[in-house]
Amino acid sequence: MSYQGWLETIAIQRSAATLFNTFTTAKTVIQPEALVSLPPNFFSVGRTLRVRASGGISNIATTPGLMNFQVVIGGVAAFDTGNIQLNATAHTTLPFWIDIELTCRAIGNGTAANLMGQAIVTGKMFTTTAGLTDDTQDMPSVLAPAIAPAVGTGFNSAQTNTLDFFVGFTISNAGNGVQIQQYKVTSEN
């Protein structure tokens, strides 16, 4: 039997966000207009979200470090790509794309709710091995997180939650930065 469903856009960014650099702790990188409040009990087991973001990433050449992307629900990083290696060639706001698929696996109070998530991240600045430069690769795609699939950090799905998108770097430098140009969240149920 087929599952009757629909595609609902629940968040969209209408203009370019600020270029953020010189930070390490993950923080919001989208425009305030793209923040959305999810009502209590928005999630049900099996409900999916698709988070897509694209824009520009800059990185330094010498010890560029790592970066990660997070989907934050009610202040909790409900999904985290884990650290993704930046390559050892300097880049200035070159394009990247991230596509995250999230499926609700549990609902409830406290930290009972959780999401299963996986992502694909594409951009010239990413690599799977520290120290590689643009001479050894073209436009790599990285699957994230690079561990066995597991549900993310639990959150309270019985309350109103703000849905947000965070980025963090391991090295604070003016040359390590991110600017989100496009951001959209859809629910595919």
Q: What average pLDDT does the chain have?
A: 93
Lowest average pLDDT, out of 2-6, 31-35, 78-82, 85-89, goes to 2-6
What digits encode the pLDDT tens for the residues 46-97?
Answer: 999 999 999 999 999 988 999 999 999 999 999 999 999 998 899 999 999 9
| 91-106/27-28 β-pairing | unpaired
The pLDDT-based confidence of 122 (bands split at 50, 70, 90) is: very high
Residues 6+ apart with CB under 8 A from 98: 51, 52, 53, 54, 69, 81, 119, 120, 121, 122
Contact 165, 20 (CB under 8 A): no
What digits encode the pLDDT tens for the residues 138-158?
Answer: 778 899 999 999 999 999 999
The pLDDT-based confidence of 114 (bands split at 50, 70, 90) is: very high
- pTM assigned to the model: 0.93
Give pLDDT, residue 135: 55
The Cα 75–Cα 116 span in angstroms is 17
Whether pLDDT at 136 is above 60: no
Whether pLDDT at 45 is above 90: yes
